[in-house]
């Protein structure tokens, strides 16, 4: 689009260099020059908008990648927690070591954190959930 606008500006500027003669020639040249400036300004705006959109797209891709990593982290911690609870959940309290009790309690904490359900895939809430579980 900026190229199209630039070409329009070129055509306008090429008309500004023509030797116009007549009563309205000076006013026409002035208006042609003003129009050329507006076209150049519009081209610059389009280029600025394109740059901003590219930056936004990069930011969105980075955010989606972070959410994907958070989703994977949470899903891995849930799987780990389920395995731990399944392995240690029914073992008598007095048989477990302190480390096993801590692991079981941590696993139950993870499962309790997600008991209300998981966010929709790709939702920003995955990052907050990952933080609550201990991602960062």
- Give tens-digit pLDDT for 90-124: 778 778 888 988 998 899 999 998 888 899 999 99
Query: What's the whole-number mean pLDDT along residues 16-29?
Result: 74
Task: Note down the domain range covering 37.
Answer: 2-133
- Taking residues 46-61, what's their average pLDDT? 95
Q: What's the total number of domains in the chain?
A: 1
Q: In this model, does residue 77 exceed pLDDT 90? A: yes
Burial class (CB in 10 A: 0-12, 13-18, 19+), 110: buried
- Going by the DSSP 8-state scheme, the letter that residue 23 receives in this structure is T
Does the pTM of the predicted model rise above 0.75?
no
- List the structure tokens of 19: 């030797």
| Nearest C-alpha neighbor of 2 from the set 30, 41, 28 | 41
Q: What is the DSSP string of 92-126?
A: -GGGS-HHHHHHHHHHHHHHHHTTT-PPPTT-THH
């Amino acid at each position: 689009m900026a190229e199209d606008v630039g070409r329009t500006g070129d055509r306008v500027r090429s008309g500004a260099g023509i030797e116009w003669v007549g009563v309205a020639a000076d006013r026409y040249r002035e208006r042609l020059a003003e129009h050329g400036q507006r076209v150049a300004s519009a081209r610059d705006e389009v280029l600025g908008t394109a740059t901003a959109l590219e930056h936004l797209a990069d930011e969105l891709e980075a955010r989606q990648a972070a959410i994907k990593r958070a989703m994977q982290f949470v899903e891995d911690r849930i799987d780990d927690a389920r395995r731990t609870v399944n392995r240690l959940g029914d073992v008598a309290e007095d048989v477990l070591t302190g480390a096993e009790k801590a692991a079981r309690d941590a696993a139950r904490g993870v499962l309790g954190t997600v008991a209300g359900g998981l966010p929709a895939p790709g939702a920003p809430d995955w990052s907050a959930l990952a933080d609550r579980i201990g991602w960062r």
